[in-house]
Amino acid sequence: MTEIVMSQTPPILHGPTEKEKKYDRQLRLWAASGQAALEAANILLVNSGAGTVGVETLKNLVLPGKFTIADDAIVNEADLGVNFFLDESCLGKLRSECCTKLLQELNPEVQGEWFPKKEVRKTHLVDQDSCAGILDLRSTLESSSTFTLIMYTHPIKEELLSIIKSYATEHKTPLVAIHSAVDTHPEVEKTTDLRLLNPWPELVEFSREMTKDIDALDDHEHGHLPYVVILLHYLEEWRQSHNGQNPISYNDKTAFSKFVLSKARTNNPEGGEENFQEAATAINKNIKAPELEPGVQEIFNHQVSDEIERRSSFWVIAKAIEAFYNKHGCLPLPGALPDMKAQSTVYVKLQSIYKTKARQDAQEVLETARALPGGKDVDPAEVDLFCKNARFVKLINATPTSENLDAIFDAETMNDEAAEAMKVETDGAFTLPMSNLFIYLALVATSHNIASTADEIMSSITGLIPKAAGSQRVLEASQEVARAAGGELHNISALTGGMVAQEVIKIITKHEKPGSLANLTIRHIHTISPFWLEKAGDVIVGPQTLCGNARLDVRQLLNVA
Amino acid sequence: MAAAATESGVSRWQYLDHIRRTRGPFNQDSDVSEEALATLDKTKILVIGAGGLGCEILKNLALSGFKDIHVIDMGTNSYALAPDTIDISNLNRQFLFRKDDVGKFKAEVAAKFVEKRVQGVKITPHNCRIQEFDEDFYMQFQMVVCGLDSIEARRWINATLVNMVDMENQDSLKPLIDGGTEGFKGQTRVVFPTLTPCIECQLDLYTPRAAVPLCTLATIPRQPEHCIEWAHIIAWDQEKPFPSLDKDDPEHITWLYRKALARAQEFGITGVTYSLTQGVVKNIIPAIASTNAIIAASCCNEALKIATTAAPSLGFEESYMMYSGDDSIYTNTFKYEKKEDCAVCGEVAKPLEVNPNWTLRELLDSFSTKADLQLKKPSIRAEGKTLYMQFPPSIEEQTRSNLDKTLKEGLGLDVNHEVAVTDPAFPALTFRFILRFA
Ligand SMILES: [Zn+2]
């Protein structure tokens, strides 16, 4: 979690400022710098359809920043049944204006703006035939200060979308598409990189110095060896008796763990040693074959398409990191050291060894980057951030082909069969998440025409993947999506609005990995009935069943639509 | 509910009504008659908590077509004497509150706001602790939705709802929907009391935050938090700079911050800040609006599904949905098993491993950190005799001398003896244990 950076000198008798008090609970999640980024943000919502999910998103973001709503719908009775930021007095007025005013009322520090300024015609954006709304959007974009981020909701007219996309390309604005169902980047198991299998000389020396007479240490010293040092020491011994091999396989790890525990002293008053316990626990997470996450591998394999892309700082740094990896066989050290039993001075020293190394690695990456074409002005802070998160960076944009659609469909169908079998076998005690691909497909089919019938949705899906015709889950998904008939349920909109807001916060405060700063498509559940909530929840997610690649492919699929 | 359609053919609840009138592939057997649809209007639902989650829950229930909502807000912990009032740090997440509302009761302000915004909903606020109401009060509702940050209050309402179930009377079974958040994480649970695993069955999911060993604080601090805890627990007691610690007094926090900072510098530790000091001392859980929005929406979605059968709800199969936005978005639903030795809904005594040489005091202390107990003021009886009682003072005095006796030698306890533990926070509960010696 982001470190909290705040002034070291607090106001002695006044305590925190009013503003710090007001934002206290969130300042604890992201730095004051993140808060500043949120305050400087200027967010555009291009709203359409039933129109609640976008407004719910903004509600969660109402911060001292700026927001603009572009929406030419006129408030009707149905809006009042689903949108909390409208009331009786809004009937017949512009939805953009009414929502802006009631959102703004949440926080007097926020600046809200809306477009169009006048009613264009008394229908929703989607139903409109003329280009009045489109012209508005173009002039909205021109007449406003640069947007930090643009969110748009489906269904959206293709003309509007193309205006948004060209603006985003020109200004490098992250776009967030809000539709329905599910998608973000996959969960990667969180590990701190202690580089136990690939230590650098200073770490090795520090560890050897502490353990050279390990058996002669008194109980106090022995019981306060940090587990990093314990593991480095016994890894050396292990390799000597195992042909120089590290304990990587499950069996070897188990044996190594027993070996380490057998070295703990038990004839002391406590009857055991906590630090050796910690060491044994740390083995599984911290001793790993030096393999790249698929997402990182994909970044390294990515062929940049043109000179502009080649010179973007993201790709320059990615190239520099790849060069680092090829040279050292590992990614730059993130530098964080988890807490572990140790003497204060020893821990602080070890912490500084990790930090120093991380700084050196980042410096090396920075120098490499600066020598690359377009890398002259690369920001050291961006390099730092990239190095800290290098293991998690993923590629989000890619182009799909119909073969991989077929392959995904097969894989996801198999996943569901396995999940079914597991459920039957264990009498429900273990469940595997069901695939959400089918929900995706059904939702994607309604991107531009949300009130489709189940048959229309089915035929749109089978147009892409003919073999989907016989799938029960595709059929059910189509029926369930059609059931909503383009309406929104407030709970689903609120839920989706919460998830989108979380992602937006991560983008703006850069809490999230730099890779996700590329255009991001978030599709969450909002047009569909409640059932999907937990089912889609199951499916979005389980890293057990959807491997990173499959998920990237799903993302590609979305870009088709 | 179905308000008359306006001239344009558009009606207020058309999206919701459409879903409810149209069966989908997963609720083929739902009753979609007009009489069945009308039952939502008569459903009386109770919301516990009017904080970050509670505000969202009230808004969502009102916009889900619930018409008769009650809300209780009791304060930040159940021992608090006064109901919770609005604090400036609530404003940015608790979107129903404005600056002018600072110092007012949360339940009242929230109820009034939602009533005004959503026509036709009636919200009745109660500014008190949930423990002040009896079973008759809870019996009037069809469902309870909890948005609390207190584990103790959750356990209390859970035990109360389980005890209320009368197998002869179907209406005595009140589904409990429970939401909780911390930072970017959260969970939604649905309990059908006595039928599905209850909150107490799942108590070990809330491991009390592991206390840092005192020796670490006293001799080998490594983290900024260790220095702050040292200032809080050790330095404050030694120096007593003020008669008693007021965690809301900036002067007191500043004193702790300075102490912690000096200690950190002595050990070469960085990262002690005023804000962190305040966070550690007050045990502040970081909170953001969006996580509350997600969990509240998920809870209300369950409430709507249970009330309308518009889609299958959590409960009998999977009953627990977890959400984590820490690293991307991850959610999963789980099935939990009922524990037959659950103190609330189970029938049998639980085995308890103890060291025969422990004193009774050591045993009682261990109850506060034991994940499936978490009792602050336990009293204990064994084999028909009282070993220690916290209340009333006369009994406390008579039994106090037992605290320093060892379990086996001093008190004569042995393997397979049954002990019964109670705590004033959960008057309806008796935790039964069968002793085992480690
Ligand atoms: Zn239970």
Q: Are residues B323 and B356 in the same domain?
A: no
- Give the three-state DSSP class for B85: strand
Beta bridge partners of B437: B354
CA of residue B369 to ligand 1 center, whole Å: 19
Separation of alpha carbons A385 and A310, rounded Å: 20
Q: Are residues B47 and B123 in the same domain?
A: yes
Residues 443-502, chain A, touching B (beta carbon < 8 A): 475-476, 479-480, 483-485, 487-492, 494-495, 497-499, 501-502
CA of residue B312 to ligand 1 center, whole Å: 23
Find chain A residues with C-beta within 8 A of B220's C-beta: 224, 341-344, 347
Beta bridge partners of B419: B382, B433
**A54 CA to chain B: closest CA distance, Å?**
13
* pLDDT surpassing 60 at residue A124: no
Residue A391 contacts B, CB cutoff 8 Å: no
Answer whether A181's CB lies under 8 Å from A529's CB: no
Task: Mention every residue, 6+ apart, whose C-beta is less than 8 A from residue A162.
Answer: none
Residues B13, A81: C-beta atoms closer than 8 Å: yes
A218: region left, alpha or beta (phi > 0 left; psi from -120 to 50 alpha): beta
Separation of alpha carbons A472 and A456, rounded Å: 16
For A287-312, give one letter per residue: b (16+ CB within 10 A) or e. beeeeebbbbebbeebeeeeeeeeee
Separation of alpha carbons A399 and A390, rounded Å: 23
Classify residue B345: in a domain, yes or no. Answer: no
For B265-293, give one letter per residue: b (16+ CB within 10 A) or e. eebebeebbbbbbbbbbeebebbbbbbbb
Task: State the alpha helices, DSSP H only, in A426-547.
Answer: 437-444, 454-464, 472-484, 490-509, 531-541
CA of residue B378 to ligand 1 center, whole Å: 20
Classify residue B239: in a domain, yes or no. Answer: yes
Antiparallel, parallel or unpaired: β B122-127 and A520-522:
unpaired
The residue behind tokens 């999940």 is: A419
Q: What residues have their beta carbon closer than 5 A to ion ligand 1?
A: B 198, 200-201, 342, 344-345
Domain boundary among B267, B282, B297: B282
Separation of alpha carbons A542 and A418, rounded Å: 14
Find chain A residues with C-beta within 8 A of B186's C-beta: none
Report the complex ipTM: 0.80
Separation of alpha carbons A383 and A317, rounded Å: 7
Residue A20 contacts B, CB cutoff 8 Å: yes
- Give ∠ CA A180-A185-A187 in degrees, rounded to 5: 120
Cα–Cα distances in angstroms (integers) from residue B258 to residues A10, A344, A485, B225, in the given order: 10, 19, 61, 13
Residues B22, A483: C-beta atoms closer than 8 Å: yes
Residue A92 CA, distance from chain mean position: 39
Answer whether B181's CB lies under 8 Å from B52's CB: yes
> Low-confidence residues of chain B, pLDDT below 50?
1-6, 76-82
What's residue B215's pLDDT? 79
Answer whether A465's CB lies under 8 Å from A406's CB: yes
Residue B143 contacts A, CB cutoff 8 Å: no
Classify residue B275: in a domain, yes or no. Answer: yes
- Give ∠ CA B85-B66-B145 in degrees, rounded to 5: 50
**B222 CA to chain A: closest CA distance, Å?**
5
The pLDDT tens digits of the residues spanning A491-539 come to 888 887 887 777 777 666 654 333 332 223 333 222 222 222 222 222 2
Domain of B401, in residue numbers: 350-437
Task: Say whether pTM exceeds 0.80.
Answer: no
- Give the three-state DSSP class for B4: coil
Please, what is the average pLDDT of chain A? 74
* pLDDT mean over A45-52: 82
Q: Are residues B278 and B294 in the same domain?
A: no
CATH number at residue B420: 3.10.290.20
Amino acid at A350: L
Alpha carbon dihedral A51, A54, A57, A59, in 10-degree steps, equals -60
Q: Are residues B290 and B397 in the same domain?
A: no
Task: State the alpha helices, DSSP H only, in A47-182.
Answer: 52-61, 77-80, 95-104, 132-143, 158-171
In A, minimum Cα distance to B6 occurs at A77
Q: Are residues B328 and B354 in the same domain?
A: no
In A, minimum Cα distance to B323 occurs at A537
From A140, A11, A10, A15, select the one nearest A72 (Cα to Cα). Answer: A140
What's residue A234's pLDDT? 96
Q: Are residues B306 and B358 in the same domain?
A: no
* Tokens found for residue A179: 């539709």
Q: Are residues B222 and B202 in the same domain?
A: no
In B, minimum Cα distance to A123 occurs at B8
Classify residue B343: in a domain, yes or no. Answer: no
Residue B64 contacts A, CB cutoff 8 Å: yes
Mutate to test the interface with A, among B59, B92, B281 (most CBs of A within 10 A): B92
Q: Are residues B165 and B250 in the same domain?
A: no
Residues B18, A485: C-beta atoms closer than 8 Å: yes
* Tokens found for residue B416: 């397979």
Separation of alpha carbons B325 and B323, rounded Å: 7
Classify residue B418: in a domain, yes or no. Answer: yes
Answer whether A43's CB lies under 8 Å from A58's CB: yes
**A23 CA to chain B: closest CA distance, Å?**
6
What's residue B103's pLDDT? 84
Answer whether A338's CB lies under 8 Å from A192's CB: yes
Answer whether B53's CB lies under 8 Å from B179's CB: yes
Q: Cis omega before residue B392 (within 30°)?
A: yes
> Could you tell me the maximum CA-CA distance found in chain A, to the nearest angstrom?
87
Residues B312, A505: C-beta atoms closer than 8 Å: no
Question: What's the domain count of chain B?
Answer: 3
Classify residue B340: in a domain, yes or no. Answer: no
Separation of alpha carbons A112 and A42, rounded Å: 10
CA of residue B289 to ligand 1 center, whole Å: 31
Q: Are residues B31 and B176 in the same domain?
A: yes
Classify residue B143: in a domain, yes or no. Answer: yes
Q: Are residues B101 and B146 in the same domain?
A: yes
Classify residue B298: in a domain, yes or no. Answer: yes
Higher confidence at residue B244 or residue A10?
B244
CATH number at residue B258: 1.10.10.520
What's residue A211's pLDDT? 94
Residues B329, A184: C-beta atoms closer than 8 Å: yes
Q: Are residues B10 and B112 in the same domain?
A: yes
Residues B12, A24: C-beta atoms closer than 8 Å: no
Active site residues of B: 215
* pLDDT mean over A55-68: 82
CA of residue B49 to ligand 1 center, whole Å: 22
For B226-259, give one letter per residue: b (16+ CB within 10 A) or e. bbbbbbbeebbeeeeeeeebeeeebebbbbbbbb
Q: Are residues B6 and B62 in the same domain?
A: yes
CA of residue A120 to ligand 1 center, whole Å: 59
Least confident residue range of A381-395, A450-464, A504-518, B127-141: A504-518
* Tokens found for residue B196: 């599905």
Least confident residue range of A114-128, A190-204, A312-326, B89-103: A114-128
* CB pairs A-B closer than 8 Å: 288
For B343-369, give one letter per residue: b (16+ CB within 10 A) or e. bbbbeebbebebebebbbeebbebbee
The residue behind tokens 């429970």 is: B178
Separation of alpha carbons B70 and B144, rounded Å: 10
- Give the three-state DSSP class for A42: strand
The pLDDT tens digits of the residues spanning A154-186 come to 667 778 888 887 887 777 777 777 753 322 222
Provide the strand spans (E) within B11-129.
44-48, 68-73, 122-127
Antiparallel, parallel or unpaired: β B330-334 and B320-324:
antiparallel
Residues B284, A24: C-beta atoms closer than 8 Å: yes
CATH number at residue B117: 3.40.50.720
